[in-house]
């Protein structure tokens, strides 16, 4: 576990040594500010960040691949993946460390939006209910972790960062749109399954302040599944 934390800290600091880390934080903060300024902090509207949380699930779709695309692809391109795999760290430790580093950066990216929540709390009368605020940020965290797990798995399969970004982006779009839209046109026997896989209704529930344990289990299960696939991809590379 110590080795995994060391890898996580190395990955987290690496984001701030490269322009991509600062660009991603600046882009997300700008988009969040626009959404909150135009759709949340509007006179006469209820004191709620529900709109922001609902749209954030879509904003994370292009941002999560930008965070995860370099996790393994950069190691493969630079030829440092072999020393990493031959170090006294298990494949699971490597995957977990890389993923935790990306998760720490995700938390750093979401942190500036707490200022907007504070402004809403200060400027509103009556003040917003803290329950939906907590659930909304919990939803952003869980959805972000699920998206990053997909990107981690894709990055473990390719040495090209651009390819990893595009593949993750299309996978997340298919994940977000395919299940929901597909359920509307699928046969009756398949529609319930697709509806159960669709993340958009779960994000909407969180944004309304509905803390459903099935949504939490869903997000954690998706995250664990794709991390397991990333571990399998790394183990296959070691065997090759």
pLDDT tens figures, 69-122: 888 888 788 777 777 777 777 878 888 989 999 999 999 988 888 887 777 777
Domain count, the chain: 1
Instruction: Give the helix, strand, coil percentages of the chain, each rounded to 5.
Output: 80, 0, 20
Q: Residue 33: how many CA atoms within 13 Å on its side-chain side?
A: 10
pLDDT at 221 over 70: yes
Which residues fall within 8 angstroms of residue 97, CB to CB, at 6 or more apart? 3, 4, 5, 6, 7, 8, 10, 11, 89
Q: Which of 1-5, 75-79, 123-127, 222-226 has the lowest mean pLDDT?
A: 123-127
Tell me which residue range forms the domain holding 187.
2-239
Cα-only R_g, the chain = 19
Omega prior to 126 cis, within 30 of 0: yes
pTM score of the predicted model? 0.86
* Residue 69 burial (10 A CB sphere; 0-12, 13-18, 19+): buried
If pLDDT is split at 50, 70 and 90, which confidence band does 21 have?
confident
Cα 113 to chain centroid, rounded: 15
Taking Cα atoms as reference points, which of 144, 137, 127 lies closest to residue 222? 144
Q: Which of 176-180, 185-189, 193-197 has the lowest mean pLDDT?
A: 185-189
Interatomic CA distance for residues 238 and 224, integer angstroms: 21
């Amino acid at each position: 576990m110590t080795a995994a934390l060391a890898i996580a800290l190395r990955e987290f600091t690496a984001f701030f040594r490269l322009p991509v880390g600062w660009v991603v934080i600046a882009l997300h903060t700008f988009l969040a500010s626009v959404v909150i300024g135009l759709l949340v902090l509007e006179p006469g509207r209820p004191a709620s960040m529900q709109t922001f949380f609902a749209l954030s699930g879509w904003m994370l779709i292009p941002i999560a691949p930008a965070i995860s695309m370099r996790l393994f692809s950069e190691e493969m391109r630079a030829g440092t993946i072999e020393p990493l795999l031959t170090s006294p760290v298990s494949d699971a430790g490597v995957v977990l460390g890389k993923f935790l580093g990306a998760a720490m950066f995700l938390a750093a990216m979401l942190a500036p939006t707490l200022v907007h929540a504070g402004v809403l709390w200060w400027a509103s009368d009556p003040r917003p209910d803290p329950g939906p605020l907590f659930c909304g940020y919990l939803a952003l965290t869980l959805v972000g972790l699920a998206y990053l797990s997909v990107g981690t798995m894709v990055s473990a399969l390719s040495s090209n960062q651009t390819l990893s970004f595009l593949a993750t982006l299309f996978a997340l779009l298919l994940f977000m749109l395919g299940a929901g839209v597909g359920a509307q046109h699928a046969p009756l026997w398949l529609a319930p399954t697709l509806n159960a896989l669709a993340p958009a209704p779960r994000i909407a529930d969180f944004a309304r302040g509905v803390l459903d344990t099935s949504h939490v289990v869903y997000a954690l299960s998706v995250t664990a599944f794709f991390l397991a696939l990333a571990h399998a991809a790394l183990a296959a590379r070691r065997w090759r």
